[in-house]
A = this chain, B = another copy of it.
């Protein structure tokens, strides 16, 4: 396993209480998001909900790619959005890493250039994640000179993870980042994500449909349905709910 060297003397303007304080309202077509959750302390917050529950919509708002009609987004006590106070920091200033559900690699750049794109835009003193380390972790060394068009699904996903990690973000947003990776690779990446949250106090918002990943990774679970948060709390608390189990359980697989 690779090691993470700490170098975060000067992470900007945030005081590290690792508080996520999120309250969002937005109407999209005839779907409306209306959610609020606070997750204190370091760690991974899992967003869980059926397909179309609004997970990606929420993450997009937090990243600053779409604007809530009302509410606020506070990360590490730093407010990046507040509808009432008229605060709206543009996405490029938020320094949130975002692993998109649909990859979004730059087709005109090599894998190497894709990986460096975000990294080059972060001041060296803010960087706490090293290039070689990420490349090794994700096993993409042999792909560096290639262009995204010929990569396999899982290869693209790994490059996308690497690209956002290399921005040394102050919050990670991960939308089903491991969906098309094999178990062996997952087993290398998951502990890394875990340690990102633990050692570097980078809060992580993690979308997944895998109950295993929730049980092993999450500190807090936000359980969404139809755009509303039905439950927010510790893993045991939420996973013991009936409605959660009926969505997450594996009746066919374990019959």
What residues of chain A have their CB less than 8 Å away from a CB belonging to chain B? 28-29, 49-52, 55-57, 101-102, 150-155, 157-158, 175-176, 179-187, 190-191, 209, 211-213, 215-216, 246-253
Contacts and interface: CB of A to CB of B under 8 A. Distances in A.
A61 to B, nearest CB: 14
Copies of this chain assembled into the complex = 2
A158 B50 CA distance: 12
A250 B182 contact: no
Contacts of A213: 253
B180 A252 contact: no
A180 B186 contact: no
Contacts of A209: 154, 180-183
Given A52-B154, A187-B251, 6 more contacts: A51-B157, A52-B151, A56-B153, A186-B250, A191-B252, A213-B253
Contacts of A184: 50, 246-249
9 contacts: A50-B185, A52-B151, A101-B180, A182-B248, A183-B211, A183-B247, A187-B251, A212-B253, A216-B253
A182 B252 contact: no
Contacts of A180: 51, 101, 176, 179, 209
Contact of A152 (B56, B183, B211, B246): B56
B51 A187 contact: no
A218 to B, nearest CB: 13
**Which of A154, A247, A251, A252 gathers the greatest number of chain B CB atoms within 10 Å?**
A252
A51 B180 CA distance: 8
B153 A102 contact: yes
Nearest to A194: B252
A82 to B, nearest CB: 27
Find the residue from A29, A175, A180, A248 having the highest chain B CB count within 10 A: A180
Contacts of A157: 51
A28 to B, nearest CB: 7
Given A179-B179, A185-B50, A212 B250 contact: yes
Which 4 pairs show the lowest CB-CB distances between chains A and B?
A51-B154, A187-B252, A179-B179, A52-B152
A153 B211 contact: no
Contacts of A28: 150
A151 B102 CA distance: 12
